[in-house]
């Protein structure tokens, strides 16, 4: 992680326009086909949420804007990505767990299982400060039509929220909300990410 001069990046105009905006976050909604994920999860015994997190990392990894993030009043550049998942801990509360993204699904799955178990048992968050973290929150037991994340003014990380997937005969669909800081990316980048997410799900080969 290193600080970069915004004027020397493709985000120069966005940094000038949106860093001091009172509400710089934008939220997109997209319904995606997760039929393949549901089938792979069932057949291979892999967690659906883990597969979603891996596909999110895969979709983001080819978009350079995901490797930059406004932190405070600075623009930081990262070499690595991580995906954060919310874990139910043994105290009956929730903790956050950053899982480093790897293009290797088996490695990511191993890290996901190990780290979420560690967080659940210790009731301590697992934070990766040297990675650009994509936040997620899965309300998998509940049917929701969408959610807009809270902007605290502290964390500017991109964030995805989803609920329970819907069944349509043989098909499974999931409505995802994606919130991002306008300094980090524009609508076109966010749209490409969501298209990449759908592609990663459809092309997943386990």
> For the chain, which residues make up each domain, given as ranges?
2-202
- pTM for the whole thing? 0.96
Question: Does 97 score more than 80 pLDDT?
Answer: yes
Q: What is the mean pLDDT of residues 45-59?
A: 98
Q: What is the mean pLDDT of residues 114-139?
A: 97
Q: Closest Cα partner for 105 from 182, 4, 183, 200?
A: 200
Give me the pLDDT at residue 119, please. 98
- Per-residue pLDDT of 143-200, as tens digits, reads 998 888 778 778 899 999 999 999 998 999 999 999 999 999 999 999 999 999 999 9
Q: What is the DSSP string of 42-69?
A: HHHT--HHHHHHHHHHHHHHT-GGGGEE
% of the chain residues with pLDDT over 90: 91
Residue with tokens 């919130």: 179
How is residue 70 written in tokens?
A: 């406004």
- Per-residue pLDDT of 31-48, as tens digits, reads 999 999 999 999 999 999
Report how far residue 182's alpha carbon sits from residue 29's, in angstroms, rounded to the nearest whole number: 16
Across the chain, mean pLDDT equals 96
CATH code, 2-202? 3.30.559.10
Report how far residue 141's alpha carbon sits from residue 38's, in angstroms, rounded to the nearest whole number: 15
32: buried, middle or exposed (CB in 10 Å: 19+, 13-18, 0-12)?
buried
- Inter-residue contact 147 to 161 (CB < 8 Å): yes
135: buried, middle or exposed (CB in 10 Å: 19+, 13-18, 0-12)?
buried
Question: Does 108 score more than 80 pLDDT?
Answer: yes
Model confidence at 131, pLDDT cuts 50, 70, 90, reads very high
Which are the contacts of 200, defined by CB distance < 8 A and separation ≥ 6? 55, 58, 59
């Amino acid at each position: 992680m290193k600080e970069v001069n915004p004027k020397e990046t493709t985000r120069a105009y966005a940094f000038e326009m949106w860093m001091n905006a009172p509400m710089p976050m934008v939220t997109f909604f997209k319904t995606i086909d997760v039929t393949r994920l549901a089938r792979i999860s069932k057949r291979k015994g892999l967690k659906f949420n883990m597969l979603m997190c891996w596909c999110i990392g895969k979709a983001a990894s080819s978009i350079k804007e995901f490797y930059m993030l406004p932190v405070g009043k600075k623009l930081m550049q990262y070499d690595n990505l991580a995906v954060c998942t919310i874990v139910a801990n043994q105290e009956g509360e929730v903790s956050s767990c950053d899982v480093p993204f790897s293009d290797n699904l088996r490695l990511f799955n191993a890290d996901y299982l190990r780290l979420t178990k560690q967080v659940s048992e210790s009731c301590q968050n697992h934070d990766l400060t040297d990675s650009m973290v994509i936040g997620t929150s899965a309300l998998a037991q509940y049917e929701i039509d969408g959610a807009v994340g809270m902007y605290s003014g502290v964390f500017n990380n991109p964030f995805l929220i989803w609920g329970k997937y819907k069944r349509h005969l043989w098909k499974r669909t999931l409505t995802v909300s994606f919130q991002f800081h306008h300094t980090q990316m524009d609508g076109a980048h966010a749209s490409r990410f969501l298209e990449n997410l759908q592609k990663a799900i459809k092309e997943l080969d386990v």
